[in-house]
Amino acid sequence: MRTAQSAVDSSYRSLSLIHESEKMGVETAEELMRQGEALKRTNKMLDNMDQDLKTSQTHISSIKSVWGGLVNYFKAKPETKPPPEQPNAYQPSVKLENALSGSRDVDERYQASHPNLRNTEGFGAAASVDASSSQQNGLPQNRILKDAHKTLDNNLDDMSDGLRRLKNLGLGLQSEIEDQDDSIDFLLNKVDKMDSKIINTNQQIKNLK
């Protein structure tokens, strides 16, 4: 009975740890998604800055010479696209999105099925009540052990499912981090080009004085 009790208690503790790890993984994924949204806004801001620099370059060319002003006057103005009313929401990697969907769907059912993951007094109480009768008849003790084995089997199945979701969540996080690394490298190159354009524009403005 003590061995059965210990095994069931251990399985509940393991389930609790898996659940806490999964919650931490989901929170990390949500933070990564917020970071991805910030990278997306940064990219949009750089595009706007580039468009402003092009406009500034046009004005500088107009100021530099009368001929340049005439050319720019008759030259067709670049088409400006109106900004979208509502920007599209950031889309994480497919792996992360699928993993998050699975973890979120199971969370409520998990809490409902295991409301006291850290408290297994219910099983211990049942065992202590029937322990006295087991001295006269072995059937109650066998029933308790059978219930313990069933609980343990169910918990092991839940642990297997939880570990599978944790694996998918880890792979999703890895995929999202790799995608964001590529986005950061792209933004850094964009910033370097923008910096060169700004320096060049500032130099042209100084030369106008």
Residue 46 lies in a domain: yes
Nearest to 84 by CA among 49, 119, 55, 48: 48
Q: Which structural domain, as residue segments, surrounds residue 64?
A: 2-74+91-129+171-208
172-184 average pLDDT score: 94
Whole-structure pTM value: 0.69
Nearest to 147 by CA among 125, 175, 118: 125
Match 């042209």 to its residue by tokens: 204
Work out how many domains the chain is built from and give that number: 1
Residue 112 lies in a domain: yes
Distance CA 200, CA 18 (A): 56
Higher pLDDT, 194 or 85: 194
Each residue of 143-161: pLDDT tens digit?
888 898 899 999 999 999 9
Supply 174's token pair. 């890895």
